[in-house]
Chain A
Amino acid sequence: MVIRRLMGEWSARLFLILLIAGLFAAILFGRRTAQAVEIHAVMPERGGWLPGNLTAEVNVPLNLRLISDDVLHGFAVGQQPWPAVDLVPGQMTELTLTFDEPGTYTYYCTRWCGLNHWRMRGTIEVKGEENAPSFTGPGSQPPFMTLGLDLDQPHEVEVDLDRPPSADLGEKLDFTIPTRFATREIYFEETPYQFWQDLREDPGTVSLSDIEIWDLVAFVWQSETTLESLEFGQRLYDQNCAACHGENGDGDGVMAMPETGDYEPEVFGESLMPPGDFTDSQKMLGASTALLQGKIMRGGMGTGMPYWGTIFTDEEIDALIDYIWSFQFPFSNGEL
């Protein structure tokens, strides 16, 4: 009887030990074979993306399990066609990415999650063989560098406009733009002010007033874009820029640093500057398209302006600049 009881007791103990050991062995084994990378999104003040750096292999699916630990965030990979996904707190968003080229890719938050939203960036280092040698993805030299532009130099000019330049009026003027001015390079490399000066010095414009020449400049600038590009640029602007630069481009977005300077440095940073005012003619007419492209790509280097070069494609940056110019040169049909 006693022996039977002892046998029963020891059997029970053995069973329990095996059960507990099996449980933990299964967990440890399972941990090793986990198939997904878990990324947590928290407000940048608390860490941003965790982890902020990932590695992947070319043509090997990267399974991500995205979790927001606080507020609504969004996830997108820069310069890639995959649509952004929302990360709703308390839910898990699963995503599989397959990169077909090696390189360093940037993922970023697409929702205005807080004052430092734009700091939410992470990188994915993709290793492996190149599929297409002509690939000019992340890492190629941007135009502002080949042109040797100093993005941080002040570029204000003295202009006195009693009304905004009008492309409509410029088009109606009895004046043909000399062919030497009608080039893409002029639009890209010269500032509107430089172009205005070129036109002013042209003998054919003697009969035109200063503001009429500005109308011509507006017409040329508008000729370089399309309504579709402007609409695309506006969408990008509203999603990514308006929170700081303002919906109307005047630099007073909801996330803009208070002008009084009464702000918390640990939140805004120590050396931030107010966002650029795209309605400010003195500054904007002294900036070239190439300069704006550079500022967008490189960012403000400590001013609070994030870099977008690893996120936006060239087409997106072009559309964005077209839209930014519309704050100086309103599109003629007035639909935007």
Chain B
Amino acid sequence: MTRYDLTRIPIAKALLVNRWPQFLVRALALIGFLFAIVAGLGGTPVGSRNFSIVFVWIAWWALLILVAVPLLGRGWCTVCPIPMPGEWLQNRALLGPRGKKPPFGLGRKWPRALRNIWVQNGAFALMALFSAVVLTQPGVTAVLLASFLFLAFGASLIFERRAFCRYMCPVGGFIGLYSQTAPIEVRVRDTAVCAGHTTKTCYTGSEDGFGCPWGVFPGGLVKNTYCGACLECLRTCPLDNIAINIRPVGADLSQPRGRKLDEAFKAFIMLGSAFVYSAVMLGPWGQLKTTAYAIGSLPWLLYVLVFLAFVFVFLPGLFYLSTRVGQLLAPAGRSLPRPFTAYAYALVPLGLAAWIAFSLSFVLTNASYILPVLSDPLGWGWDLLGTAGYSWTPFFTQTIPVAQTLVLVVGLAWAGITARRIAQEGNHPAAWRQAIPNNLFCLLVTVGFLWLFVG
């Protein structure tokens, strides 16, 4: 497949290699992050008038799910401020390496048994259970953001590299999964060059940069999932062998290497969460909203059980059945290893489409809150930019259902194509039949979402 290496453009490469542009963006993002915590704790408790809710769950979320993830993959991780304080302490520097002092902290390796994304899966599911409160109450959002900061800081003191980002961050988990669809990647130009490079400075670090903070050897990268796009390898590679490629969308989904059960379950968690979120937040069921909000109550515990069962048992169970039926339809295609895990990657584009469709509704409906909050971010009665009085105005309400439908249909088609490609990995002419039940599963899920969004 054709690719275009952005580092071929001298000015682009200079901007990417230079630490200052990235540092400035991250520093400003850190300020915004700290301000969100302060606003959540000290500002008005009215979510629609508080910076922490409006800028985290509307502005940032819109940028993340509608722009950054689909177009830039791990682009957010490139500038994410959460690991910065811990990483600076670990590196003993804000910019590049200084001298040969060892990293600060215990520098332990992350436990072998947890070198997967199960912790991230659990963290996201846990967060999802409290989402009704997290997304509406500034104080709770502030506590959550602060806990991210402290966890990342603590992880940097105990473990080597960015253990929080790689193994714990609930947001990073799904960004990694969906970054497989993005039209951009960090890869090596020639793996043979890496193989011949004895010091592997991209992993160990050099005076030009730190060893991969994500603990990844770029020469072995086959998909975006675990590359944090931090650009360190671009700085440390002495052989100019790192490329930032523009590539066809979804290139990683057809990559048979590196498919894992934890990632498959991440796909189910994301798809299931999008469905439950849509039902709770966009659906007409007041009792469901109340239940999701009544943290700790008996109905909420029931909601938790249903949510977990839906995400971890029902969806994977139904998908497993569809996979088994597919194998019966095309027995010759059984050469595909671990079909349940393999076919789950078809849910990646569908899940991303579902999240985009879900986000379109509340982002466009609530985007107008950004203007008054820009002028009065803490709800203290300021009018910094003269926009404090701007009233709530939903945008494009007529076209949202159309856009949601289109996005879901594209996601469904993309999932269908992906499932068929995966089926054909079995190298049998009739193997495409194996994907039919999975296609039906995706169709069922899409109809479910359409029912929630426009039904």
Contacts and interface: CB of A to CB of B under 8 A. Distances in A.
A23 B31 contact: yes
Contacts of A5: 95-96, 98
Interface stretch (B45-53, B149-157, B399-407): B45-53
A65 B20 CA distance: 42
B94 interface: yes
A5 B94 CA distance: 11
B23 interface: yes
B378 A30 contact: yes
Interface in A23-77: 23-24, 27, 30-31, 33-36, 38, 40, 63, 65, 67, 69
Contacts of A6: 98
B35 interface: yes
Contact of B93 (A9, A19, A30, A40): A9
B44 A38 contact: yes
Contacts, number: 75
Contacts of B381: 34-36, 63, 65
Interface residues of B, number: 30
A63 B96 CA distance: 50
A9 B98 contact: yes
Interface string A283-316: 0000000000000000000000000000000000
B447 to A, nearest CB: 32
B396 interface: no
Interface stretch (A10-18, A105-113, A178-186): A10-18
Interface in A73-97: 90-92
Given A16-B27, A20-B31, A90-B46, A30 B380 contact: yes
Contacts of B47: 90
Nearest to A1: B207
B209 to A, nearest CB: 12
B301 to A, nearest CB: 22
A34 B94 CA distance: 35
Given A6-B98, A92-B48, A19 B380 contact: no
Contacts of B94: 9, 12-13, 16
14 contacts: A8-B19, A8-B95, A9-B94, A9-B95, A12-B20, A16-B94, A20-B34, A27-B35, A27-B42, A34-B381, A35-B381, A67-B45, A90-B46, A92-B49
Interface of A: 5-6, 8-9, 12-13, 15-16, 19-20, 23-24, 27, 30-31, 33-36, 38, 40, 63, 65, 67, 69, 90-92
